Structure 1
Amino acid sequence: MTRRPFPSLKVEQWPEHDRRLWQKAHLASGPFDDDGLAARWRPATLRGCERGYGVWLRWLEDAGQLDPALHPCDRISRKRIKAFLDSYRVGRAESTVAGTMRDIAYVLRACAPPDGVDWLTKLAHRMVNTARPSRPKLPRMARVKDIIDLSDSLMNEGLEKLRNGKRSGAPLYRDGLIIGLLISRPWRRCNLADLRLGRSVFVDDLGARVSIPKEETKKGVAFHGYIPKRLEPALFTYLDMVRPVLLKGAADNDGWLWIGSRGRRLPANDISIRVTRTTRKHFGRDLSPHLFRDCAATEVALEDPAHIGITKAILGHATLTSSQKFYNQATSFTAFSRYRDVIRRFRDEG
């Protein structure tokens, strides 16, 4: 079915009332006042919400229903939301539609704290929790052991190249270490890219410590812990031998842990590209950094379902709600594996 274009009104095109409330919502206040509800949202979250809410405003405008004098919450009704969904969901994945609904609900909450339009927020959360992804995750996932083996293999190969005077071993080693960290400490890619020596990465008598404040995490859950002992020697080798090669004599004033081309910081998007390309090469399928989180949590559900609750801490979730989907996913993963074995046996017998 053909997808209808849905342009988004930019913030500067929003009605003045909406724009003023939104600007107030993401401003920090003084010591005696509360911050705006969106004051500590990450820039990417703000941009996403603005895009989704802009889609809603543009739909209202095209339908002749955008009254700029009304409060944003007063434009919401169940009838209008149903009409919007009937039009917007045509040709779009469930996850895309759910995400846009969540963006709209979050902007309204920020403009009318603390609840916004309560029934709309509940509807958006229900849609997000039940939406089917446009690309199924299970066929792209890998077992943790295979990922660890790939990490070790890349680091060994990279180290061997460096010992033979080949600088190409440095990015190979770095990528292997990133993959090892991603599966051992499945942080979101932005938190991984933001690691800085002396700021969030510290070396003390107990090892290499990482400290990520709650203000910098998506769910507002801080991380304070150590790099796994298994990876400590690899990290120290990276710091002492590999990272200086990547810097190529560039000034190391900012202390970014991951160094990319021309001695500069390796941004989150570049990390995603390199990890995805590497896993595609070795596994035959794309394994994005975010999918590492699914792999880790699903492994827990497969191997130790009685302790599925630990995924809350592993993934930095604020609640256990998200953990249940990994248990369900593990059940599907087992069925998928068994089906694959049946197919293999069938082909062998034929």
Structure 2
Amino acid sequence: MKARETSPIRRAFAAWPPELQDRWRESERAQNFSRQTRERYLRAAELLLSMTLSPPSADDWQEFSAWLAARYASSTVRTYMVDASYAVRILWPDEEWAWLVDQLRARKRKAAPKPAQKPVPVDWPAEWNAAWQLAHLKPDRDARRQRLRTIYRGGGGGTTSVTAGSQRKEDRRLEPRKWSSDFRARIVRGANAYLKFLRDEKRPLEVTRANVDAYIGSLESRGLSDHTIAMYTDEIALLMRVVIAPQEDWAWLQGFAKALKVAAKARRNKAERIVSVPDLISLAEETMAEARGGIGGARDAIRFRDGLLIGYLAFMGNRLRNISDMYLGKTVETQDETVRVTFATTKNGSRWSAAWPAKFERAFWEYVNIYRPLLGPRDDALWTARDGFGMTRAAISQRVGDITLARLGRRVSPHLFRDCIATQAQRISPEAVRPAAKVLGHSERVLDEHYGHAETVAASKALAKVVDTMIPMQLSRRSR
């Protein structure tokens, strides 16, 4: 029999039936949480138990949700619902709560902000629109087959095509059809901003030195950084050089954009933020050791997770989008005692696969079997957050940055780990560059151009040992 009230009043813990009080006090699951977390769950339970003293059904849960929604903001409602879900699993651990987990997961997806719409060309000149559409048309299959037949038969035109194709592969930026949706959106956004400026200033809708100078002046007056201004200029240069008017000479604009990039890079001085890979690995080991020395609650589980995450980044340097997409049984596969991480696609469109860093294999199994369950995982995400769901990109970046800043005195973002690995390889020897480039998913040329923060390339036995263990030997990377 359920005890109901039309307007729930918090049922204090002392007013609970004795058996429910005993379950709460004696629950091993409840003891794994910190005192503050247990108090939160208790407050939610006191509200829920004012409506029912037996395991709540789906209708009870719906009524509880409606009552909360009538009194609190949506974010507070979500917090109460999650806290109450933990509470019912403590009070009635033998009940089947899969329906509740699914309901909360659906609620979270519904509440998640919708992805921003990709920008589209706004009031572009007719010739710009036509060139943009033409540049992104899929190639004619019949023409492609005919060209391949010509090549196969030894036609002269085929040889030229193959050579040109090989040259184009060196710079995917020159092939609009191969641009990712995110990169295409950047170009459109940059062009929209440039054309809007010209209209506001009543200037002709064309790319000239005078217009570009005025545009850059307006960007500077808005207080934008050198890096942002360089990016805006580079987008216009690439659009004109590759899509709108490739037959014209844009060397002046391209050179100007490159000069801005160089100046912006000098101002940012990323080299000052580089941390050695051994220091990052030591931080990971120390963080996990602190978790092992704790009481084995959720707080220690989070600390161990953070240490393992930093250790993995120090070895592999995957991009944030891939780190947040690590799921057990999907991108993280285990077989017997081996662990392998595979991403079907990376930023450059290639498949990436590597064995889990040997140094942290034992820590991986510790996390999966001991610490991760303490966080009450509700999905297969490897990096489980306090609410049981996978950590978002923003949460991963914030957490890693906060820990490195507090412990090392420098905020090391997940992407900066890539620079740290590349710099470590360059400092050791030229031979270390190749495996580091494979791990990062780059060519050796790109590694040297974009991650060259080492002052010297001096060999060091101590650092060589670190990189020998740092770089997985069995690494495969093949195109889709």
Provide the residue aligned with 1:308 in structure 2: 433
Q: Which amino acid aligns with 1:153?
A: E
Change (3 A) 1:86 1:12: closer
1:203-242 aligned within 5 A: 203-205=334-336, 207-213=338-344, 216-242=345-371
| 1:192 matched to 2:323 | yes
| 1:57 matched to 2:195 | yes
Residue 312 of structure 1: CA displacement? Answer: 2.5
Residue 87 of structure 1: CA displacement? Answer: 4.2
Q: Which moved more, 1:116-125 or 1:262-271?
A: 116-125
- Structure 1 counterpart of 2:454, from 324, 330, 339: 330
| 1:136 matched to 2:136 | no
- Over alpha carbons, which structure has the higher Rg? 2
Residue 147 of structure 1: CA displacement? Answer: 0.7
Q: Which has the higher contact order (CA 8 A, sep 6+)?
A: 1
3-state secondary structure, aligned to 2:285: helix
Residue 273 of structure 1: CA displacement? Answer: 0.2
Residue 97 of structure 1: CA displacement? Answer: 1.6
- Structure 1 counterpart of 2:234, from 96, 102, 110: 102
Residue 287 of structure 1: CA displacement? Answer: 1.2
Structure 2 gaps of 5+ residues are: 1-118, 145-174, 459-480
**Aligned partners of 1:37 and 1:209: how far apart in 2?**
34
What is the percent sequence identity of the aligned residues? 28
Residue 221 of structure 1: CA displacement? Answer: 3.9
**Aligned partners of 1:96 and 1:312: how far apart in 2?**
27
**Aligned partners of 2:179 and 2:457: how far apart in 1?**
37
Residue 143 of structure 1: CA displacement? Answer: 1.4
Q: Which amino acid aligns with 1:312?
A: A
| 1:280 matched to 2:405 | yes
| 1:151 matched to 2:151 | no
Change (3 A) 1:325 1:107: closer
**Aligned partners of 1:134 and 1:38: how far apart in 2?**
34
Change (3 A) 1:190 1:60: same
Q: Which amino acid aligns with 1:234?
A: A
Residue 249 of structure 1: CA displacement? Answer: 5.6
Q: Structure 1 length normalisation: TM-score?
A: 0.73
Q: Which moved more, 1:261-270 or 1:131-140?
A: 131-140
Kept in 2: contact 1:140–1:287 (CA 8 A): yes
Please give the per-residue CA displacement for 1:20-48, whole angstroms capped at 9, x wherever unaligned.
866786788998799x93566154x3443
Please give the per-residue CA displacement for 1:1-25, whole angstroms capped at 9, x wherever unaligned.
xxxxxxxxx6474437456866786
Residue 84 of structure 1: CA displacement? Answer: 2.7
Q: Which amino acid aligns with 1:166?
A: G
| 1:15 matched to 2:117 | no
Change (3 A) 1:116 1:171: farther
Residue 297 of structure 1: CA displacement? Answer: 1.0
Please give the per-residue CA displacement for 1:160-197, whole angstroms capped at 9, x wherever unaligned.
32xx2421111111111111011100111111111222
**Aligned partners of 1:311 and 1:129: how far apart in 2?**
24
Number of aligned residue pairs: 307
| 1:292 matched to 2:417 | yes
3-state secondary structure, aligned to 2:353: strand
**Aligned partners of 2:244 and 2:443: how far apart in 1?**
23
| 1:202 matched to 2:298 | no
**Aligned partners of 2:304 and 2:417: how far apart in 1?**
19
| 1:181 matched to 2:312 | yes
Residue 158 of structure 1: CA displacement? Answer: 1.9
Q: Structure 2 length normalisation: TM-score?
A: 0.55
- Structure 1 counterpart of 2:390, from 230, 247, 265: 265
1:114-129 aligned within 5 A: 119=251, 120=253, 124-125=257-258, 127-128=260-261
**Aligned partners of 2:335 and 2:141: how far apart in 1?**
35
